[in-house]
Amino acid sequence: MNFDFSDDQKSLKDEARRFLADKAGAKVTRRVLDDAAVSYDDGLWRAVAEMGWLGAAIPEEHGGLGLGRLELCVLAEELGRAVAPIPFSSTVYFFAEALMLAGSDAQKAAVLPKVAAGEVIGCFALSEGPGAPSASSIQAKFDGATLNGVKIPVTDGDCASHAVVVAKEGAGISLVLVDLNQAGVTRTTLKTLDPTRGHAKLEFKNAKAERIGAAGQGWDLAEAVLDRAAVLLAFEQVGGSQACLEMATAYAKERYAFSRQIGSFQAIKHKLADMYVSIEVARSNAYYGAWALSTEAAEMPFAAAASRVAASDAYYLCAKENIQTHGGMGFTWDVDCHLFFRRAKLLAVQAGAPAVWKEKLVKRLEQRNAA
Amino acid sequence: MDFNDTTEEAKFRAEARAFLEANLTPKSSDKERLQRKLTPAEYLKAAKAYQAKKAENGFAGITWAKEQGGRGLPPIYSVIFNQEEAKFDAPSAPFSIGLGMCVPTVIAFADEATKDRYVAKALRGDEIWCQLFSEPGAGSDVAASKTKAVRDGDDWVINGQKVWTTGAQFSDFGIVLVRTNPDVEKHKGLTMFIVDMKQAGVDVRPIHQASGGRDFNEVYFTDVRVPDKNRLGDPGQGWGVALVTLMNERLAVGGSYGPDYKEIFEFAKGINAPSGDGPLIQDEAFRQKLADWIVRAEGYKLAKFRTMTALSKGQTPGPESSIGKVINANQMMDIGNTAIEALDHYGIINDGDLAPLEGAFHQSYMFAPGLRIAGGTDEILKNIIAERVLGLPQDVRVDKGVAFKDLPSGR
């Protein structure tokens, strides 16, 4: 039994934490929050690219570090803890994973080295409107060469240079790769609950596009991309949850009410203990997801859904109770609690909301039992 | 990351498996039903015989030092044996508290002669032990114990009452926490003794539980004499001794009980949904709840794998293992409750011949309230997580600097 990260992976995590403590954190996140014209922090993005993190899981032949998905999980947890205001998840967990999963050798050779170098910012365009999308609800249309339709919202769609888009092709669904810097693409920046990450509406009018993977296989591929992203997002969520717990714990030790530390009241203790339990449940499920992702185990769909359900629930609980523990101060713009509360909701709904993943989890239990 | 045993662990697991296959029958609901039909005396006899076989074959006291008759292996091997044993109908319950909590305390605090007298017999299953801590006025606040011991020559004389004592009716010995000095602070006036449960003045009475069963006892002590050589630790040091015992309790009570998500998933295929439209398993509200149960059950199981990993690397798990019972007891309650409500009016029937799973959901519903209390209430376990894991300050203490006899105690 070795259900833990290796010493090397733990060193990477320590290194990432030190690096982000220096280069990221609330100050950097707030630069993006407070400036509507800025959709991500370019300095942090460049620094992360220089560290090689964008290519951590990209093979060396394509310009990456050729590390595994476990290393990526470790980085994800630290980026989540730092509420990093960069398009890392869109580029790495969605865009690059989609290419590595289904791209042709030529597509991988053309795009992945640029991802690793930080020259390409990627995004994943699935949603087209209110409610969970399905294979039958997708309206965007690919005709073998050009793409038409509307995607809203697209996380990091305002700053991305490329997108992987889920679109109809004939009677089926395909994944297509689109260069967003072309005449056929119109972007409209969206106002969202989490302004520390950019969001856009993308409109495609006869935009040049190329298919990734086989025609008609797009929905299954999209599900597979979402599963991979679910595990990596779960680590971001665990990192954010842990940061909330630590913040609330520190405040409960220093804040006095009724002439005693508020952390000495059982009402606060039990709240924080509940947060701790939710994180342990989320972390344990996420580790299982990490194992399944890194070994390409048959258990991956089940493990990914369990990771995501547990992590979304934990982050919501920890983010809201962090505000509650801080009292009135926690409801101010200047205290960082709301950065986590906002990010918790973005991470919970992008790639499918908790209810969607709970349904997937039960369906996958049924499939597993039927197999 | 992998879920594989090391070579040594795999070898041990195979050895354990062979022993268990030779001596026990694999778990099945039919067998379990038969098990329940054994009289308590028959079950105890089977349990003692099984314990003796474990001792002969080196599967008793796996982590205990060799000089105590153990095998001197790291804790991971004990976990491996327990994992394998859980697949069989093992009559091991009468020994779990004695060998898990009491005798390790004896080993930690007794002199050589005392250890020679008790340890080997306990390990072979010749003698059974119980733990006498809780009192009617000292539950979560177990250091408020009032049962007293007064020195009389070479003996101490015990008077008072303990409660919730598992296995007292068939135990030969117990460790008992008593007040030897009411004139000092609460935690400083306690002492721990080994007590002979079969002697005159020890009166064991079963407690009729709210769930209907009689799994625990009250134990009354009337002028019970205990020789001073049966003392564990110095007079007044009993609380420190008790903490050593209790450290093991949270690990002992962490297991899962009753039907979990897999059982209610199967159950939901054969029950009508509240809409009247198809089976419950197709009901969206039910499926959402089922997903929550899956992640908690899997999360708990996987958290134990993380603990095993730490054990396997020779690390000692800390108070974080307290989370297990908080998760399980509440999940057991919730699943039992949901299954009963899903049965609609029929849910009130708990006759094992008529109710689903022989009434197991109903048993969960009725036993879960006890499990949320036993071995540390939800609230105490959350305090432990808050104070020992997160480092939050203790609550304001009104008992500091006050002699025990002067503390308010209500009724």
Q: What is the mean pLDDT of residues B346-360?
A: 94
A269 touches chain B (CB under 8 A): yes
- The pLDDT value given to residue B34: 54
Measured between CB atoms, does A224 come within 8 Å of chain B?
Answer: no
Nearest C-alpha in A relative to B4: A1
Tens digits of residue pLDDT in B395-409: 988 999 999 999 998
Domain spanning B254-373 has what CATH number? 1.20.140.10
Quote the pLDDT of residue A122.
98
User: How much is the average pLDDT of B334-358?
Assistant: 95
pLDDT bucket at B75, cuts 50 / 70 / 90: confident
Q: Judged by CB atoms within 8 Å, which residues 38-67 of B form the interface with A?
A: none
Same fold, A122-218 and A220-370: no
In sequence order, the 6+-apart residues with CB closer than 8 A to the CB of A352 are: A132, A226, A230, A308, A360
Of A40, A42, A48, A45, the closest CA to residue A15 belongs to A48
Per-residue pLDDT, averaged over B137-162, amounts to 97
Cα B336 to Cα B333: distance, rounded to the nearest angstrom: 5
Min Cα–Cα distance to chain A from B307, Å: 9
Instruction: Give the nearest partner residue to B306 out of A3, A270, A358, using CB atoms.
Output: A3
CA torsion A256-A257-A263-A269 (nearest 10°) is -170
Binned at pLDDT 50, 70 and 90, residue B253 comes out as: very low
Token code pair at residue A321: 């109770």
Residue B367 predicted with pLDDT over 60: yes
Alpha-carbon span A183 to A207, nearest angstrom = 7
* Domain limits, chain A: 7-117, 122-218, 220-370
Q: Per-residue pLDDT tens for B168-192?
A: 999 999 999 999 999 999 999 999 9
Question: Is the distance from CB of B208 to CB of B82 less than 8 angstroms?
Answer: no
Closest to A283 in 3D by CA, of A311, A313, A260: A311
User: Do the beta carbons of residue B98 and residue B119 sit within 8 Å?
Assistant: no
* Chain A nearest-CA residue for B391: A249
What is the spatial distance between Cα A16 and Cα B92, in angstroms, rounded to a whole number?
48
Q: Does B157 touch chain A (CB under 8 A)?
A: no
What distance in Å separates the CA atoms of residue B303 and residue B324, rounded to the nearest whole number? 9
Instruction: Note which residues in 203-232 of chain B have CB less than 8 A from chain A.
Output: none
Question: Is B382 at the interface with chain A, CB within 8 A?
Answer: yes
Say how many C-beta atoms besides its own lie within 10 A of residue B200's C-beta. 10
Q: With contacts defined as CB-CB under 8 Å, which chain B residues touch A67?
A: none
Give the one of A2, A3, A261 whose C-beta lies nearest to B393's C-beta. Answer: A261
Inter-chain CB proximity A284 and B4 less than 8 Å: no
B282 vs A: CB within 8 A = no
Q: Measured between CB atoms, which of B296, B302, B387 is closest to A288?
A: B302
Identify all chain B residues contacting A294, using CB atoms and an 8 Å cutoff.
Answer: 1
Query: What is the reported pLDDT for B251?
Result: 52
According to DSSP, the residues that pair with B29 across neighbouring strands are none
Pick the residue of B390, B395, B396 with the most A CBs within 10 A to test the interface with A by mutation. Answer: B390
Q: How many residues comprise chain A?
A: 371
CATH 1.20.140.10 maps onto chain B at 254-373
Type of residue at B251: L
Out of B302, B326, B393, the one facing A284 most closely (by C-beta) is B302
How many A-B residue pairs are in contact by the CB < 8 A criterion?
156
Q: What are B90-122's pLDDT values in tens digits?
A: 999 999 999 999 999 999 999 999 999 999 999
Q: For residue A2, list chain B residues with Cβ-Cβ distance below 8 A.
A: 1-4, 309, 312
Q: Which residue among B84, B249, B284, B341 is the active-site one?
A: B249
Nearest to A303 by CA among A361, A367, A250, A220: A361
Tell me the CATH class for A122-218: mainly beta
- The answer to whether B135 is a known catalytic residue is no
pLDDT confidence tier of residue B36, bands split at 50, 70 and 90: low
CATH node for A220-370: 1.20.140.10
**Tokens 């920890």 belong to residue:** A318
Q: How confident is the model at residue B2 (pLDDT cuts 50, 70, 90)?
A: confident
Range(s) within chain B of domains with CATH label 2.40.110.10: 129-248
Superfamily covering domain A7-117: Acyl-CoA dehydrogenase/oxidase, N-terminal domain (1.10.540.10)
Q: Transcribe B273-285 into DSSP letters.
A: -TTSSSBGGG-HH
Task: Quickly state the pLDDT bin for B3 (edges 50, 70, 90).
Answer: confident
List all residues 6 or more positions away from B375 whose beta carbon is below 8 Å from its beta carbon: B249, B250, B252, B253, B325
The CATH classification number of B129-248 equals 2.40.110.10
Under an 8 A CB cutoff, do B3 and A3 touch?
yes
Establish if B5 touches chain A: CB-CB under 8 angstroms: yes
Chain A CA closest to residue B324: A277
Interatomic CA distance for residues B322 and B173, integer angstroms: 28
Res B320: pLDDT: 72
B211 pLDDT exceeds 50?
yes
For every residue of A39-68, DSSP letters joined together read -S-HHHHHHHHHTTGGGTTS-GGGTS----
Express each pLDDT in B43-54 by its tens digit: 999 999 999 999
pTM for this entry: 0.94
Give phi and psi for B213, each to the nearest 5: -80, 175
Within an 8 Å CB–CB cutoff, is residue B291 touching chain A? Answer: yes
Q: Tens digit of pLDDT per residue, chain A (371 long)?
A: 789 999 999 999 999 999 999 999 999 999 999 998 999 999 999 999 999 999 999 999 999 999 999 999 999 999 999 999 999 999 999 999 999 999 999 999 999 999 999 999 999 999 999 999 999 999 999 999 999 999 999 999 999 999 999 999 999 999 999 999 999 999 999 999 999 999 999 999 999 999 999 999 999 999 999 999 999 999 999 999 999 999 999 999 999 999 999 999 999 999 999 999 999 999 999 999 999 999 999 999 999 999 999 999 999 999 999 999 999 999 999 999 999 999 999 999 999 999 999 999 999 999 998 88
pLDDT band, very low/low/confident/very high, at B38 (cuts 50, 70, 90): confident
Nearest Cα to A194, choosing from A28, A6, A347? A347
